[in-house]
Structure formats: structure tokens, C-alpha cells
Amino acid sequence: MNEVVYRDLGAMDYKEAWDYQEELFNRWMEYKRKGSAGDPPDQYLLFVEHPHVYTLGKSGDEKNMLIHKDFLKKINATYYKINRGGDITYHGPGQIVGYPILDLESQRMGLKDYIHFMEHSIIELCRRYGIGATHSEEATGVWLDVNHPHKARKICAIGVRSSRYVTMHGFAFNVNTDLNYFTYINPCGFQEKGVTSMEKELGEKPDYDKVKTELKEILMEGLEKQRTPL
């Protein structure tokens, strides 16, 4: 079975990274259309940091963008409608964006299991820093004070596309993110829930590269366990 390849794309324009995902994803689509004959393509865990950008999922509501598109230039941001699930979210500097291109069949996971896997990986990372994060029964992503109506806040958004058990898009984890950019949207469609970051919760900036390395290790070790035969 082919292993998952980790690739750090560094700082990259959103559209450039999206096109690269599509290229890797389409290799899998072609492989599946041919009846999975021959050697399978590589699977990937891509990490990237984007310039300021808002993305709206295929089921999202444009009303959750609270600013006129002309205002985007003033805040040095761009906007894309994309083919993942979920509503609107923000990507920007200080945020770890993960794009796993995985064949869930070989990972022995269903889509719901996969989303829970990403959530629990982020939760484990937060735990290492003393941040009490958890998942929500009502919404995807990773949250703090999830059951408190006025304190609930999201630290990691998740939005996935899946076809023939192959995934693309993924998660956005706020490390040292400028949270002011979230005030221009209803993040993930929520009007009454907040957004947070590691920096805000810790009261200081964590080492972005150190956090990235730790998250990579958690995810890669978890995927290795998924691929290990019972």
C-alpha cells in the first residue's frame, strides 16, 4: 500500500494551491475510472499558508459575506466560490491549512470517520498546549466551550470534498491568525459563535513552525495507524 507523502507548500496563493489539489485529486479519479488497475497514485498531506482569502463552499450562502466585494481590495483579500462542503471561511497568514488528498478506502475510513480523525488530531495538538478543545455534535470543526451559548468559539474549520472515497480540501487551524478578518463574515454560516486562535487562548504567539511540525506528526502517525492491518 502506498504511503502518504507530506508536502509543505509554504506560502502560496489560494488558486495555485487549489489547482494543485485538483491535479492530484484528478489522478485518483482517473485511476478509479480505470477500475483501480496498476499502481495507485500517491496520497498526500499538503500544508500551506495562504494570503488573505475568503472561500465559500458549494452549499454556502453569499449573505454570510458581510462586506461588498469592492471592500476586499481595501483589506488586501480575495474571494472564491469553491467545490467543498460547508459555508464561508477565511484563510490567511498565521493559519495552518491542511489539504489531505487521501483514498479513504485504503485508509479504512468512511467520510464521517475521516472528519472525526481530523478533529481529534487538532484536539490532541491543542491538548499539548493546555487548550481544552473539543468537537461539536452540531457542527464540524474544533471548538472551545462548545456547550456555552455565549462563549462557544471555533479554533479550526473543516470543509471537505469527496468523490469515489477520495478527498480534497480539508482544515484551517488558527495559530497566530489575525482574527479581525473573521469579523467581515459569518464564519461557517454562524452568526452567534465566535472564532479564536492559539495565540488568543494562550495570551502569546506560539512558534508557528513548531506547531506545524507537531501537527504534521500527529496526522501522519494517525494515518499510519489507519493503514496498519488489524
How far apart CA 196 and CA 199 sit, in angstroms, is 8
Nearest to 43 by CA among 92, 104, 91: 104
Selecting among 188, 195, 198, 223, the annotated active-site residue is 188
Nearest to 174 by CA among 145, 202, 203, 154: 154
> Quick check: is 188 catalytic?
yes
CB-count exposure of residue 96 (10 Å: 0-12, 13-18, 19+): buried
Cβ 21 vs Cβ 168: under 8 Å? yes
How far apart CA 162 and CA 193 sit, in angstroms, is 27
How far apart CA 99 and CA 47 sit, in angstroms, is 6
Q: Which residues participate in catalysis according to the annotation?
A: 188
